[in-house]
Amino acid sequence: MKKFFSDFKAFALKGNIIDMAVGVVIGGAFGKIVSSLVADIISPLISLATGKVTLTDLKWVINPAVTDAAGNITQAETALTYGNFLQSIIDFLIIAFSIFVVIRLMMKAQEKMESLIKKEKEEKEEETEEEAPAEEKEEETELAILKEIRDLMKKE
């Protein structure tokens, strides 16, 4: 049992688990924001076109409710309430689009970072290559001078 808890502790304290927990909390908050956007901003605009108060009021009545003379409902209506479904679809599309935009921005930032690192690496390599030939030229020049001196000494 002790090993189980030590394994769980090692698992729970890994960075990936903490990152995932933060993502779940932020995702939940983001879901509430999107739901509010749909319910409080988008739905009223749609209701202007449909004449209903909210999207959730949209329904297709198959059998209307039956009422008695006093106005009491004796048999409830049979209806397909598709308004909630439409609102969930809009929520999903907004969340999916938002995640797509965030991931795309992150990928572009990562590509830019990689290209900057690659460019910096290439510049360092070019500097190293430029320094090396200069040193070799100096050595060749010294060697050529020493050979000339040797040749002159041989002649004398």
What local confidence, expressed as pLDDT, does residue 114 receive?
92
Evaluate whether 79 touches 62 at the Cβ level (below 8 Å).
yes
Evaluate whether 92 touches 85 at the Cβ level (below 8 Å).
no
pLDDT (mean) for 41-70:
79
pTM confidence score: 0.53
What local confidence, expressed as pLDDT, does residue 26 receive?
86
Q: Structure tokens of 7?
A: 């394994």
Q: Tell me: the pLDDT tens digits for 112-146?
A: 999 999 998 888 887 776 655 555 666 677 788 88
